[in-house]
Amino acid sequence: MLNVTLVVKQACETCTLIEPIIGQIAAHFDLRVICQDTQDFPKNLEVEYDASLEQSYRLKIEVVPTLIIRKEGVEVSRIFGWDATAWEALLGIELNRDLPKFRPGCGSKTHDPGMQERLAAQFSGHLLSARRLNFENVDDIEIGYDQGWSDGLPVVPPTAERVMRMLAGTTRQSDEIIGIVPPDFAPCSIEKIAINAVLAGCRPEYLPVVIAAVEAVLEDQFCMHGLLATTYFSGPMVIVNGPISRAIGMNSGGNALGQGNRANATIGRALQLVIRNVGGGRPGGVDRAALGNPGKYTFCFSEDETNSCWESLSVEKGFSSEASTVTVFAADGMQGLVDQKSRDPESLCRSFAAGLRVIGHPKMVQGSDAFLVVSPEHERIFRDAQWNKQQVKECLLALLMIPGEELIQGAGGMAEGLPEKLRDSVLCKFRDGGLNIVRAGGRAGLFSAIIAGWGASGSTGSVPVTRQIHS
């Protein structure tokens, strides 16, 4: 026996048009009528008023009217809108021939703005496993501070609806565990990342980037626990490469390392909040930084790959130019480099090398990795000379070979330094692979920047990690 379900709403002109035939169908079949907006339509029939829209949501109604046919409890067919020929063929009965042959339907109330997330939060509770808290008479802005979720700035309360909306930004399952987050080594699910992305103010399309960044910092070679526990300045920095950086509107140009771009600001912040709220990494606890740096709020930007004469960072790391990636780095703050006079690459490299020499300490060698962020105007000097990125690195590293007599304790009147036994050595400022170059910044200004790394960078500490971003 066929069971027939019809979902309608009185506000739909097509639904009111077909009201005369609904009684005809009820006379032949076990008809269940569900109305989304009133209990009095259609008249003279038993109607299930779907005030909460739960039934429409569970039936996945997108358009009204929708006619659903079940046989032995299993759905075998459904029709959207009014199509006289299709309805008669499906039902096997002749319907009112005075009606127009065809009329499109109207949008289901389940697809009103914001409704899908609200209904999913109400009626798909299995999708969200996080503990739910209820607050009454509390200012939303204060909730984050009161609960200890905040990094010191206001956060967006992670309501179930907002979390469901955020999860729509990825195809991954909400209960997937992507790793354990130090220092508490707590399991981290996609859902928990989404919650913190809401707190940070992310849009759903940013979520795949945040997930990839969390996955990257949880890799052993990044050493997130050590980075948290150090008294040094550093925190995780995120560089995004590939098409997704442009698709979500990230800033790689003017003020790329500053404020003003939502994607840059909130992706980096979401990563930090995951470490804080999932892993328990809070200042004054395991986080013992003597000074920290402003990048520990958020430190995220994209590389300017448009019209660059160099391979991007991700291509250097072995990924396709069409792949989207995140690279995480244990970073200090930014150190500016000004050179407005150099017009040849050798001179500009000498300026860069002089700035790179002093990171951490002028006598510190092979202790900190670094990123050199070259602005488009400085890059043009290398472009005009047809220098690729590898040539720039080789020139810089040659300039950064330092005699041991300048590095030992006491040299230059500074007690800091290397042991006396290294006086006759010549040492490079950076370990092999410890210097990275990316292109970013505004089109005007002969200014570049150094972003130094944690003093425990390198093969025995933290190394940059690059991961591909998946939807």
> Structure tokens of 250?
């990230």
Please give the pLDDT value at position 17: 95
pLDDT at 452: 94
Taking residues 319-328, report their average pLDDT. 97
Mean pLDDT of the chain: 93
pLDDT in tens, 151-200: 999 999 998 889 999 999 999 999 999 999 999 999 999 999 999 999 99
Per-residue pLDDT of 238-291, as tens digits, reads 999 999 999 999 999 999 999 999 999 999 999 999 999 999 999 989 998 999
- CATH 3.40.30.10 region(s) of the chain? 2-110
pLDDT of 208 reads: 98
- Going from the C-alpha of 210 to that of each of 46, 176, 312, the distances in angstroms are 50, 15, 20
Position 123 confidence tier, pLDDT thresholds 50, 70, 90: confident
Q: Does pLDDT of 124 surpass 80?
A: no
pLDDT at 137 over 60: no
The rounded distance, in Å, linking the Cα atoms of 455 and 341 is 32
In angstroms, rounded to a whole number, what is the distance separating the alpha carbons of residues 328 and 217?
Answer: 7
Superfamily of structural domain 2-110: Glutaredoxin (3.40.30.10)
pLDDT tier, 125 (very low <50, low <70, confident <90, very high otherwise): low
Report the pLDDT value the prediction gives residue 458, as an integer from 0 to 100.
Answer: 66
Higher confidence at residue 138 or residue 141? Answer: 141
pLDDT in tens, 372-383: 999 999 999 999
Write the pLDDT tens digit of every residue in 40-81.
999 989 999 999 999 999 999 999 999 999 998 899 999 999
Cα–Cα distance for residue pair 227/242, rounded to 1 Å: 27
Tokens of 393: 């690195």
**Position 147 pLDDT exceeds 90:** no
Spatial separation of the C-alpha atoms in residues 65 and 353, rounded to whole Å: 71
